[in-house]
Chain A
Amino acid sequence: MPMLKQMYTNLGVARAIIIGFLLTLVVLAAVYDLDLAELASSSLVRTGMNGVLVLAMLPGIVSGIGPNFGLPLGVICGLLGSLLSIEFDLTGFPALVVSMLASIPLAVATGAIYGWLLNRVKGSEMMIATYVGFSVVSLMNLGWTLLPFRSPEMKWPIGRGLRVTISLAERYEKVLDKLWAFEIGGLRVPTGLLLAFAVACLAIWLFLRSKTGLAMKAVGDSKQFALASGLNVDKNRMLGTILSTVLGAIGIVVFHQSYGFIQIYEAPMWMGFTAVAAILIGGATVRKANITHVILGCFLFQSLLVISLPVANRIINVGGVAEVARIIVSNGIILYALTQVGGAD
């Protein structure tokens, strides 16, 4: 019993509720005789799809800027990279790689400017990140309409601007998902996708153990300590922001190759919230996080979303129940994390 109690304290109320909710959903799914292998396959795909986007939260939290609600900035860089690859008429793996490579310099530049801004608003990063994200998404609405892309696949046949969703079917749809994919007992494993996520995690894990990474962590842990040991706080925070933005850009390319469509305009608006909620569900706080939180959080949150839809449909014939669950769970966990920060007065 003391062990259980300890576990409960470690988890915290909100997390315990969410995990309890997920377990209930799994039991219900079994009771309603839903195809568990199918659900598990979907959960795996969704985890891999969103993984890098959630991973983007890690450098932000570790370097002290907190969960990066400004993820849409990175996402938009990734979108521009993807659109370039289509404009150059690339297909398959080259298209995927070029999408990522093209978006990285953009993301580095954006992250640097954004990091400079965040260094000037210490203590209010979360709110400002959110609204900078919203502003840039709405500014890019003008961008998507006015940018001189020419590929007919992307443009509206009549009128001005790019389509809201752009199909990747002829481009790089599911190239990672299908790579070395196999099936055991009805469970499909998207090996390539999960490998890509694993490689990204490993890279960040290694980076955080390098000298630069350790310095960044020290800055995030304690500004006083970092200053005393002669570390440049602002520079390390900026590094964290740039990394987060770059991961956001790569993350959205991975996401869209699995999804099969590129979504522009309003789509990036809420992506920051989903990623923040996921890492928090995994056990991170707004001050502390590690790779386990990323992987666990992403898997738990996405499984919850995958399973809640069919279960809700069995229990009650109303549309939107799963959406309601998503809104309550994701914002609930963010609120809980905010109350844990403690008064900063």
Chain B
Amino acid sequence: MSTKLPIQMPPGRRPLDLNSLKSFLLDNMVTAMFVVICLVGWSLSGLSAPFVVNDLISRLARNSLLVLALLIPVMAGMGLNFAITLGAMSAQFAVITVTHFKVGGIPGFLLAVVLSTPIAIFIGILVGKLLNKTRGQEMITSMITGFFASGVYMLILLVLVGTLIPLKNPDLLLGSGVGIKNTVDLIAISGSMDNIYKISVPIAGLVAGLALLLLNTWRFLRPHAPSAKNRLLVYAGGGLLLAAVSAITLFSGSLMNNVKIPVITFGIIALGCLFIDFISRTKLGQDFKTVGQDQHVARVSGINVDKTRILAITISTVMAAWGQLMLLQNMGNLSTYDSHTAVGTFAIAALLIGGASVTKATVGQALVGLVLFHTLFMVSPFAGKNLLGDAQLGEFFRSFVAYGIIAVSLVMHAWKRSRDIKKKLQE
């Protein structure tokens, strides 16, 4: 039961009538397949809906911004930005600093945002320049850059802190006085965004459902209504259904009423979605798309290709830094040398499961992918345990899915590209 916001629907998709249902399913085969896998996994896991929704909300709060950070580089034709791990590392530097100076709560979180942003901008520019030198191999470069940066990050936090960097704080440092501890407790900023204001899931569903209903009815009744009128009716109906189900749940005494949604966190995520949507409509967004389509054409039409690409990566890195801050405040502790490592792979796998490709990714795909990937991630150990008597098997399966989906998407993209090149040569 995910709350469906209107922005979730990418603009320009054909109306959802029965005739086009078949082609819709064909176009979204990957996503459809994962919907089935998730449902089967969930039923095998035997987990209750309130449990799944509760965990899912927390996982979405953590990971959404990180996935959104991937969208702009895709728009600019730079593929999947594996280097968002560098944004995550900038956030971790900031969080350690904030923890050292014991600035807590919302001021602490905001200070971390302020500190991480310039680091992320600086790193973003460097990565952008590097990717301009390795045109055509952006993804492998961004991935190796992530590994390399991880080494530099370890060098700074494990070796330089306490030796060259005069930091004396027994709460942060290892016993020897050199290097940051493996786990840093982030008590000060833990939950600082999540805990500001929470409402229960049925209430949130009711509000979102009613908003969806009213918004789409209004758009339907407008004199200058868009051509896809049927689609608006479907959305409005969906909103009504959501509101009705929520209302019933609200008065049924179901455990779902105990599941809370952190409103501010999801508000920030919604802002992130709107930001991406907004960018894609501006001149800058057009530039990104032109550069992504064909760099020669972009150059001829007067766009500074290199600068545009650097800007795309910089925005992505900054968003990733903020995303990692959201993740860390939700987790409440930092695995100093681990928290950032899987960020790239997981975010990319989630985006691809939502139906995105190396060259096209929308906000809607990001959100759908997040829900599916994290549902799968949550239920697979339980499903593995119930089906084969071994939770470990479920864990192996989910990491195979994460890597496998990336491999398959990369292959499909490269295959199509080499076929296109061949066709061009034959003409």
Contact = CB atoms under 8 A, between A and B. Distances in A.
A338 B134 contact: yes
Given A138-B399, A139-B400, A344 B144 contact: no
Contact of A327 (B150, B159, B389): B150
Contacts of A126: 137, 140
The size class of the interface chain B forms with chain A is 35 or more
Nearest to B152: A328
Interface in A129-157: 130-132, 134-135, 137-139, 141-142, 145-146
Contacts of A131: 403, 406-407, 410
Interface in B169-187: 174, 176, 178-179
A134 B154 CA distance: 23
Interface in B402-417: 402-404, 406-407, 410-411, 413-415, 417
Q: Is the interface of B mostly helix, strand, loop or mixed?
A: helix
Given A123-B417, A327-B151, A335-B130, A130 B140 contact: yes
User: Do most interface residues of chain A lie in helix, strand or loop, or is the interface mixed?
Assistant: helix
B137 A335 contact: no
A306 interface: no
A227 to B, nearest CB: 11
A217 B159 CA distance: 45
Interface residues of A, number: 44
Interface stretch (B25-33, B230-238, B273-281, B390-398): B390-398
A316 B163 contact: yes
A121 interface: yes
A128 B411 contact: yes
A266 to B, nearest CB: 9
Interface stretch (A21-29, A104-112, A317-325): A317-325
Contact of B159 (A127, A130, A318, A341): A318
A335 B145 CA distance: 7
Given A120-B418, A343-B133, A138 B404 contact: yes
A332 interface: yes
B412 to A, nearest CB: 9
**Residue among B141, B159, B403 facing the most chain A CB atoms (10 A cut-off):** B403
Contact of A145 (B147, B150, B174, B396): B396
Interface of A: 117, 120-124, 126-128, 130-132, 134-135, 137-139, 141-142, 145-146, 159-161, 273, 316-318, 320-321, 323-324, 327-328, 331-332, 334-335, 338-339, 341, 343-345
7 contacts: A130-B140, A132-B411, A324-B155, A324-B159, A327-B150, A335-B141, A339-B130
* Nearest 6 pairs of A and B residues by beta carbon: A344-B136, A327-B151, A121-B414, A343-B135, A124-B414, A331-B148
